[in-house]
Amino acid sequence: MISIFGRCVYLALVGVFWFLFCIGTLVAVNGFCGDYKNAIINPSRLDALGFYSLLLDAIIISPIVEELVFRKFLLGYVFRKKLIVGCLVSSIIFSVVHGFYYGQILSNYHYSILFLTGILFGWVFIRFQMIVYYSIFLHALLNFLMIYQVKILEIINNMVCV
């Protein structure tokens, strides 16, 4: 039996590897020397209050609300008997809702990453006996990393692009 701490470490590793995959595909789509200043989430464009509001929303409020709706309700109750179908449906809705949340039409790349991230959250939810806390933890971790992806990509640009 794996402890709660062990599960969180496991999920943190899964989250970091997924984040690195997302960064890698973003670099592959835009190239190493892409312009990331107009990214969907760019914390450097926010004042202090906006930045802390973004952190509160992205790391606490959104993961809790979204995982309760998309995993606990849709996957745990509505599609309880058909988990694969439920995982697919909840992931599609998850990706579409995020398109509306950002207030713009996203590229196919963004929708596919959001869909696959929804699949990952659904897998975690199913894997850990439908306990939603683990998918909330992973969701919060990925949102935290995604907030800082622009800074990470700027560092990569400064190292690679002259």
pLDDT digits (tens, 9 = 90+) for 112-162: 889 999 999 999 999 988 889 999 999 999 988 888 777 777 777 777 766
Q: What is the domain partition of the chain in residue ranges? A: 4-30+47-160
Total-model pTM: 0.83
pLDDT digits (tens, 9 = 90+) for 70-103: 999 998 888 889 999 999 999 999 998 887 766 6
The string of DSSP codes covering 17-83 is HHHHHHHHHHHHHH-TT---TT-SS-GGGS-HHHHHHHHHIIIIIHHHHHIIIIIIIIIIIITTT-H
pLDDT given at position 16: 86
